[in-house]
Amino acid sequence: MTIQTGDRVPNVNLVKATAEGPQPVSSDEFFAGRRVALFSVPGAFTPTCSARHLPGFVERADELKAKGVDEIACTAVNDAFVLQAWKESAGAEGKVTMLADGNGELAQALGLTMDGSKFGLGQRGQRWSAIVDDGVIESLNVEEPGAFAVSSADYLIERL
């Protein structure tokens, strides 16, 4: 079952990519007591994710924060080392926190997985964005397969 607006984010273990290296974090701890703009990409360094999705959140980070967002986070079924390298290459340091869902536990718990096997990607998380307020999904925007319309930073800002 796919998570819905008003549901609590399930508690799973993630890995926060930092300059000091991977740091384990539970989703309960990460989302507690703050409002987070969270977005999911099928994979770091993939075309739409690198050319449009992450750059939009980097470019509009200040606007999101001005609208009451405490932190911007990206999740992907990638390891923390890949997400850290992607963050550095995209100039996202200090703007977007990378949350590695290396085993796909968050994507599975949310019911937002996709099968990228025909592209050699295996099971991944779908492309989506959400506003999470103290661990509860305030808004959720899930893309249709192959689309990039409702999960962008622009779309979130227009609705805040």
Strand partners, 36: 71, 132
In a domain, 4, yes or no: no
Q: Are 140 and 39 in contact (CB under 8 A)?
A: no
What's the CATH code of the domain at 31?
A: 3.40.30.10
Give catalytic status of residue 49 as yes or no.
Answer: yes
pLDDT band at residue 2 using 50, 70 and 90 as cut-offs: confident
146 CB contacts (<8 Å, ≥6 apart)?
A: none
Question: With bands split at pLDDT 50, 70 and 90, how would you rate the model's confidence at 120?
Answer: low
Nearest-angstrom CA–CA distance, 150 and 139? 11
Q: Is residue 1 part of a domain?
A: no
- Residue 8 domain flag: no
What gap in Å lies between CA 109 and CA 104, rounded to an integer? 9
Q: Which domain holds residue 118?
A: 13-159
Nearest to 126 by CA among 139, 106, 103, 145: 145
State the Cα–Cα distance between residues 142 and 38, nearest whole angstrom.
12
- Domain tally, the chain: 1
Predicted pLDDT at 119: 76
2's tokens? 């796919």
Residue 105 confidence (pLDDT) above 90:
yes
* Confidence band, pLDDT 50/70/90 cuts, at residue 122: low
In a domain, 7, yes or no: no
What is the structure's pLDDT at 85? Answer: 94
83 in a domain, yes or no? yes
Beta bridge partners of 132: 36, 137
Instruction: Please name the helix (run of DSSP H) or strand (run of DSSP E) that holds residue 100, with its range, or none.
Output: strand 97-100
- Catalytic residue among 36, 41, 49, 72, which? 49
- Provide the phi-psi class of 33: left if phi over 0, else alpha when psi is between -120 and 50, else beta: left
Classify residue 5: in a domain, yes or no: no
Model pLDDT for residues 23-77, shown as the tens digit of each residue = 999 999 999 999 999 999 998 888 787 778 999 999 999 999 999 999 999 999 9
